[in-house]
């Protein structure tokens, strides 16, 4: 029992979502509209601590008409600055953290109307996050994570649809779309990617690929 999870990202030809300096503005205006339309279509948007710190996203809907989703931050140590834009009052925000989080920081954020959920001792299990969101009647989620957060969800078969925009750039180094321990060959992944769509972007310079994920073992989806 978990929400349907979309993972959406713009990447360079060499698979980077950010350069070695953290630069990540890859999308054309049309792709930004697609992203914001997806935000308006889901109930919540999830990011990790690194994305929150480096990009400082607002995670609201601005390029299309629509409602703002619930903003969800996964930060086991609660190390993000309290000045981030996701802590404003433009949309509800939930932080999932662990017992490592500083109590005074928790209370300070709660005092500003941010919901802080302590959900683990040391590390946050993404399955626990999704299960809690589902109990809140959140049925569709957009994952806009960095490489590590994306890995944590994908490796647990907790992504249903992957939407990747290939942009006409090369970084040569930086943050990959997926960053984790990795698999030794093409058979080791616990899921299969099934191509569901190929679209040339309206700008004529980008390609949007849509994959649906099928878990090899249906029981791995039980969280």
Cα 8 from chain centroid (whole Å): 7
Annotate 107-148 with DSSP letters as a single string.
Answer: HHHHHTT-EEEEEESSS--HHHHHHHHHHTT--EEEE---HH
The Cα–Cα gap between 100 and 85 comes to 23
Q: What share of the chain is helix, strand, coil (3-state, %, to 5)?
A: 25, 30, 45
Give the side-chain half-sphere CA count within 13 A for 19. 8
For residue 124, the model assigns a pLDDT of 94
Whether the predicted model's global pTM rises above the 0.75 cut: yes
For residue 217, the model assigns a pLDDT of 80
Cα 171 from chain centroid (whole Å): 21
pLDDT by residue for the chain (223 residues), tens only, comes to 899 999 999 999 999 999 999 999 999 999 999 999 999 999 999 999 999 999 999 999 999 999 999 999 999 999 999 999 999 999 999 999 999 999 999 999 999 999 999 998 888 999 999 999 999 999 999 999 999 999 999 999 999 999 999 999 999 999 999 999 999 999 999 999 999 999 999 999 999 999 999 999 854 444 4
Length of the chain: 223
């Amino acid at each position: 029992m978990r929400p349907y999870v979309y993972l959406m990202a713009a990447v360079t030809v060499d698979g980077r979502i950010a350069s070695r300096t953290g630069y990540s503005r890859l999308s054309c205006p049309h792709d930004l509209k697609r992203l914001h339309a997806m935000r308006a279509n889901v109930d919540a948007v999830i990011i990790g601590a690194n994305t929150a710190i480096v990009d400082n996203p607002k995670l609201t809907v601005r390029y299309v008409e629509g409602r703002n989703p619930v903003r969800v931050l996964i930060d086991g140590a609660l190390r993000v600055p309290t000045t981030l834009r996701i802590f404003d009052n433009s949309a509800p925000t939930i932080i999932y953290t662990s017992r490592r989080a500083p109590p005074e920081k928790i209370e300070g954020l709660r005092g500003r109307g941010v919901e802080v959920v302590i959900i683990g001792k040391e590390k946050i299990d993404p399955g626990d996050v999704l299960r809690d969101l589902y109990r809140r009647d959140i049925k569709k989620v957009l994952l806009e994570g960095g490489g590590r957060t994306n890995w944590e969800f994908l490796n647990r078969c907790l992504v249903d649809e992957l939407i990747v925009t290939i942009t006409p750039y090369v970084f040569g180094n930086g943050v990959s779309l997926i960053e984790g321990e990795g698999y030794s060959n093409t058979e080791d992944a616990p899921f299969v990617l099934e191509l569901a769509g190929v679209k040339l972007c309206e700008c004529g310079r980008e390609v949007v690929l849509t994959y649906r994920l099928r878990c090899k073992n249906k029981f791995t989806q039980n969280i």
